[in-house]
Amino acid sequence: MRVLVVTNFLPDEAAPQRGRWVFDQVDEMLERGLEVELFTFPRGVSHYLPAALRLRRRLRREAFDLVHVHYGLTAWSALLAGASPLVVTFHGTDVRHRIVGPLSRRLAWRADLVAAVSRGLYGVEDGRAGLPPVPGATVLPCGPDLGRFRPLPRAEARRRLGLAPDRPYLLFPANPARTEKRVDRAAAVAAESGVELLTGGSIEPELMPLWVNAANAVLVTSDYEGFGLACVEALACEVPVLSTPVGIAPFALAGVGGTLCAPFEVAAWREALRPHLDDPDPRVAGTARAAALSAARMAERTIAAYEGLLARGRPAT
């Protein structure tokens, strides 16, 4: 099977981890014998039409069994380029954003296979509409690479990052500039707990597992999430995680002791954090749950979706 993956999730200095989840999925599909090529273009409104023209030229030169696009607006470029069959994975902001969301929901009716990174994207969340009930729509997350995200000695992680060995730390793994991630909530519970809050945003992908393992707990305080990769990455590292009930969190954290999935409330979150802040090396049994949502497992799921789509498109014999 020959697949063209289209994405504008590209890293930059402010967000060096952006798009890593797509590239991890591509790597896993290559490992499984698919012939996968990438078509990328920069973010920004001015790049969509030029990307459509370049993509059209490429599709005229080369044959692919299908085109898999990540992000709703990016899919408009592929549609204009004549990509077919067209698989679109929606990641969250493309669905929930007040301007981009309506465009993504309209595009969903034009794709051959609609996929969301979590089931929650098909419903209303924080007052924002989800994807429409397109027949055959599915869930195809991009999971974490368990080769990178795994338990590491907390003392070693702190030593390598230059953090104090005997102080508790909390990690807010998202970019604080993204308002929907609600760093104000994380800062409030950290202040109430008397603990330093470490924040993400400009952390290199290779270093993020160290930051997760260095923390006493990871805080996911978002108003909404498409998937919520940080939650699963923390579980993969066996690090306690507290999350609002967004994205994959209600499933990922269900039954995992030492975690919390609940609406944000400072007093309740502070109380849930207390045992982790008193423990010099708090851990939770999260690796099995993370493995079920890993990049490898999700790549297998995506390949099965490809095969199903292509089988439906073949004429009867």
pLDDT tens digits, 113-140? 999 999 889 988 878 899 999 999 999 9
254: amino acid identity, one letter: A
Residues of the chain with CATH 3.40.50.2000: 2-143+294-313, 154-292
* Lowest pLDDT segment from 1-15, 39-53, 243-257, 285-299: 1-15
Contact indicator for 257, 240 with CB cutoff of 8 Å: no
pLDDT tens digits for range 160-214: 999 999 999 999 999 999 999 999 999 999 999 999 999 998 888 899 999 999 9
Domain 154-292 falls under CATH 3.50.50.100: no
Phi, psi of 32, deg, nearest 5: -95, 10
For residue 124, give every residue at least 6 positions away whose Cβ sits within 8 Å of its Cβ, in sequence order, or none: 130
Contact indicator for 217, 269 with CB cutoff of 8 Å: no
Neighbour-count burial of 96, counting CB atoms closer than 10 A to its CB (0-12 exposed, 13-18 middle, 19+ buried) = buried
Phi, psi of 92, deg, nearest 5: 140, -70
* Structure confidence at residue 192 (pLDDT): 96
* Structure confidence at residue 51 (pLDDT): 97
Strands (E), the chain: 2-7, 35-40, 66-70, 86-90, 113-116, 138-139, 169-172, 196-199, 217-220, 241-243, 260-261
Q: Does residue 71 surpass a pLDDT of 50?
A: yes
Q: Between 158 and 142, where is the model more confident? A: 158
Q: Is the pTM of this model over 0.85?
A: yes
Q: Does residue 316 surpass a pLDDT of 70?
A: no
Q: Does residue 13 surpass a pLDDT of 90?
A: no
* Cα-based angle 2, 110, 73 (whole degrees, multiple of 5): 80
Matching CATH number, 2-143+294-313, of 3.40.630.150, 3.90.79.10, 4.10.140.10, 3.40.50.2000 = 3.40.50.2000
